[in-house]
Amino acid sequence: MSSQIDHLLDETRKFPPSEEFVAQSVSSPELYERAAADREAFWAEQSRELLHWHKPFTQVLDWSTPPFAKWFDDGELNVAYNCLDRHVEEGNGDRVALHWEGEPGDSRRITYAELTDEVKRVANVLEGLGIGQGDRVAIYLPMIPEAIASMLAVARLGAIHSVVFGGFSADSLRSRIDDAGAKLVITADGGYRKGRVSALKPAVDQALADRGDGEQQTVEHVLVVKRGENEVEWTEGRDVWWHDVVPAASPDHTAQAFPAENPLFILYTSGTTGKPKGILHTSGGYLTQAAYSHKYVFDLKPDTDVYWCTADIGWITGHTYVTYGPLANGATQVLYEGTPDTPHPGRWWEIIEKYEVSIFYTAPTAIRSFMKIGRSVPQKFDLSSLRLLGSVGEPINPEAWMWYREVIGAGKTPIVDTWWQTETGAIMVSALPGVTATKPGSAQVPLPGISIDVVDEQGVEVGNGSGGLLVVTEPWPSMLRGIWGDPERFRETYWEKFEDQGYYFAGDGARLDEDGDLWLLGRVDDVMNVSGHRLSTAEIESSLVAHEATAEAAVVGASDETTGQAVVAFVIIKESYLAEHEPAGLAQQLRLWVGEQIGAIARPRDVYIVGELPKTRSGKIMRRLLRDVAEGREVGDTTTLADTAVMSIISAQVK
Ligand code: PRX
């Protein structure tokens, strides 16, 4: 890691925006000046300009009970109305909202008028199923238009959605449904992935099955979209087919105004413990920053651009930059159901050519896997419509950045590397195309209106040329409002570390270069970043020890050329298990076990069966040393180990 960082900091290339780009850019240096002059007034102005408020707000920020912020508190709005109806009322009903592309090659073109109509019908159906303000609805769907319609219909009613990524297991889905106390689940029979139908409904059935522990089930109904045409089991009275009720529902539905702080969604993300955190976002502030960042970071011209963000709606990027930001701004976007390489490795580039995508937003892990395949694949397609490229989810190494610019962006498109988190709700750090001279590998500068710093353990600014911890020093509109059902964990996780200063602790290491540009250096806690997805070491460890063979487990994130980090597990097997079973194939069994328990993304790349784990005298596992082994490095300082010989034994076992 440290050689990688030194290498990064040798990077001196800079790419100022072209004159042509500057001339047409929606942003200008003046944005920074206005925000610096009066931050709150700046956000109020953005919010009024970008959103429709049914009842205008008079207060901007209420920070009287930190860390619980309220933005635009006395205002009222309807999030779905902002994403749909108002565009139709303004005469843009015929504009395409979604160019949807199914993995098998089927496609649908949905205008703002059509999407508005659909969402009104779904809202009526949901009301009929008893959903109202504040109720929780779990959404477990593939990337199909119904996923977006479901999110917006829930929002329209002032209810709260909890989207669960379709790749998560039944167990993960169940714990999320239970934690939020969801009343309804919206799912599909299945969706297409890697050329075949991957079933979803069975996982919902399993998640809702009686555990026999006497726990009260909160889910009353399951609304099922037909997509995969796979056989499903049916629970009469509970399950409802989407196609039976949505087309038959009335397309009339008046959007009611809800308070700015009405909860909009819960999204679960991994933390440092085994239990995922339900990050809570509310309406007015979230939508303001979603629309604002989407407009300025992507230089959006809604009447001419075709925008495509490849994220799944199961992640925060899919929430803010597939559903809410683009639709609030009236953008035309591409939505793709499947994997990048199905049925051929050029599928993404073919889609860009087909829809003449002009703004493209994806993750470094995808760029690195395309780099591996080689430039001949994208070069078969006409990518000349692209004028802006974005990156998100993990640091983008300069090599991948340059490849992205040269091969995908014809050596001329600006690249915005956007740093943010599930918790921040929207982009916090990024170049502004048309203003910033971009630097390969650096996320660069806080957006106008956002205050970021890099500090030491005591909360003191490190200054340019030094590294430390990334903090947000002032509240921002799309900040998380809490962890569902756990205000104490919210305080502890993000605010306790720099309580005296009142800073938000992001959990990321960062460095400021001599120009004051930010370089993200990865997590400083036990959270891993695999292909831009956050995973907790503790969560995977507890899954491993839940297997009958495992006595103890330790998990680390080891650097990986393609996925950024990879999950590597060290497992001690129970003597009693070994007495009765063959050890052959056990590592593979454990890999698959984690995949079944949590989801395929959590499956370890390597499982090493070892005799011992390195522990300090107080019994704490020294993951740093295991990371050295996993990354094939000389093992670091072992003097604080209870038994200093243990690392040579482990290294030998791993070899
Ligand atoms: O470590 C940072 C990394 O991803 C974490 C947030 O993960 P998640 O909540 O899943 O959201 C991902 C999409 C916004 C951060 O704490 N991260 C995200 N974007 C970047 C990044 N690291 C470096 N550069 C980025 N652009």
pLDDT in tens, 399-451: 999 999 999 999 999 999 999 999 999 999 999 999 999 999 999 999 999 99
Does the C-beta of 390 come closer than 6 Å to ligand 1? Answer: no
Does the C-beta of 418 come closer than 6 Å to ligand 1? Answer: yes
d(CA 337, CA 506): 31
236 CB burial (10 A radius; 0-12, 13-18, 19+): exposed
Helix (H) and strand (E) counts in the chain: 23, 30
Report the pLDDT value the prediction gives residue 644, as an integer from 0 to 100.
82
* Ligand 1 geometric centre to CA of 313 (Å): 16
d(CA 335, CA 653): 47
d(CA 433, CA 98): 25
Residue ranges of the chain whose pLDDT lies below 50:
1-3
Report the pLDDT value the prediction gives residue 2, as an integer from 0 to 100.
46
Host H or E run for residue 110: strand 107-111
Does the C-beta of 392 come closer than 6 Å to ligand 1? Answer: yes
* Atom from ligand 1 closest to the CA of residue 443: 26
Nearest CA among 355, 361, 253 for reference residue 316:
361
Which of 5, 277, 401, 520 for mutating ligand 1's site (highest number of atoms within 8 Å of CB)?
A: 520
* Atom from ligand 1 closest to the CA of residue 522: 1
* Atom from ligand 1 closest to the CA of residue 418: 26
* Atom from ligand 1 closest to the CA of residue 423: 9
- Tokens at residue 649, please? 């034994």
Report the pLDDT value the prediction gives residue 1, as an integer from 0 to 100.
43
Q: Which residues have C-beta within 8 Å of that of residue 346, sequence separation ≥ 6?
A: 377, 378, 380, 381
Nearest CA among 85, 54, 83 for reference residue 252:
85
ipTM above 0.90, yes or no: yes
Instruction: List, in sequence order, every residue forming a beta bridge with 510; answer none if it has no partner.
Output: 468, 520
* Residue 67, preceding peptide bond in cis (omega within 30° of 0): yes
| CB 57, CB 477: distance < 8 Å | no
The DSSP call for residue 142 is -
Average pLDDT value over all residues in the chain: 95
Instruction: List, in sequence order, every residue forming a beta bridge with 568; answer none if it has no partner.
Output: 556, 606
Q: Which residues have C-beta within 8 Å of that of residue 64, sequence separation ≥ 6?
A: none
d(CA 53, CA 633): 57
Which CB contacts under 8 angstroms, 24+ apart, belong to 30-39? 31/296, 31/432, 31/435, 31/448, 32/435, 32/448, 34/448, 35/448, 35/449, 36/448, 39/449, 39/451, 39/474
* Atom from ligand 1 closest to the CA of residue 422: 9
User: Could you tell me where the DSSP H helices lie in 260-346?
Assistant: 284-297, 316-318, 325-328
Which of 321, 479, 508 for mutating ligand 1's site (highest number of atoms within 8 Å of CB)?
A: 508
Going by alpha carbons, the residue nearest to atom 12 of ligand 1 is: 393
d(CA 619, CA 613): 10
Nearest CA among 561, 575, 579, 543 for reference residue 631:
561
* Atom from ligand 1 closest to the CA of residue 506: 16
Does the C-beta of 316 come closer than 6 Å to ligand 1? Answer: yes
Going by alpha carbons, the residue nearest to atom 6 of ligand 1 is: 421
Does the C-beta of 227 come closer than 6 Å to ligand 1? Answer: no
Q: Report angle CA 653, 546, 174 to the nearest 5 degrees.
A: 135
Q: Which residues have C-beta within 8 Å of that of residue 220, sequence separation ≥ 6?
A: 129, 130, 183, 184, 238
* Ligand 1 geometric centre to CA of 11 (Å): 21
**What 3-state class would DSSP assign to 468?**
strand
Does the C-beta of 397 come closer than 6 Å to ligand 1? Answer: no
Which of 281, 312, 394 for mutating ligand 1's site (highest number of atoms within 8 Å of CB)?
A: 394
6 CB burial (10 A radius; 0-12, 13-18, 19+): exposed
Q: pTM, whole model, 2 decimals? A: 0.94
Residue 448: CB atoms within 10 Å: 22
Nearest CA among 72, 71, 69, 40 for reference residue 55:
72
Going by alpha carbons, the residue nearest to atom 7 of ligand 1 is: 421
| CB 191, CB 197: distance < 8 Å | yes
Going by alpha carbons, the residue nearest to atom 21 of ligand 1 is: 394
